[in-house]
Amino acid sequence: MTTESLKTKPRSAARVAPSVLVGIGAFAAVGVYVLVSSIDLGLWTSLGPGPGLFPFAMGAVLAAMAAVWLVQELRSPSDTVEGVDRGLVLAVVLSLAVLAAVMDLIGFQLSMFLFLMYHLKLRGRRTWISSLITALAGSVGAFYAFNYGLNVTLPVSAFPLLNTIGL
């Protein structure tokens, strides 16, 4: 036995958790799907970037991030807690379903504001001021950035009263 063998620690036989591999696979699959299907939209036109260029780039980034995540996990597997916080998963899925259901009815700004306040204040236990500022920036700011900056129309309220005040 040499002193070198006493200094080096044997590698542990830690394995990547199956749930982590499923997550990596899901991200990679979505990335590859977006990458491939964006090619049909056209990456470039005679006027410049085509409608498929941004999704193509995002699909490539997502697939690359999944590959980096896999390499990191193979080098040093993360400590995964067995079991999933089903309450958190259920709250996120249900709140997204409610958001999708009410967005056409009460508009993007109000529905997104309520969605963000729910997750920031109630689920995330942030301060009121932090939650309000972030929710306003995320709802009203995003609405104006998309509507006026990018010329992408987002839903407005179907109620005349809310519509007259700009919601």
- Residue 67: predicted pLDDT: 96
Would you give the DSSP letter of residue 132?
H
Stretches in the chain below the pLDDT threshold 70 = 1-14, 80-84
**pTM, 2 dp:** 0.61
What string of H, E and C letters represents the secondary structure of 111-165? HHHHHHHHHHHHHCCCCHHHHHHHHHHHHHHHHHHHHHHCCCCCCCCCCHHHHHC
- Residue 19: predicted pLDDT: 80
The count of residues in the chain is 167
- Residue 82: predicted pLDDT: 64
Would you give the DSSP letter of residue 126?
-
- Residue 129: predicted pLDDT: 96
Sign of CA dihedral 78, 79, 84, 88: negative
Residue 14: CB partners within 8 Å, gap ≥ 6?
76, 77
Cα 165 to chain centroid, rounded: 30
Contact indicator for 162, 107 with CB cutoff of 8 Å: yes
- Residue 50: predicted pLDDT: 85
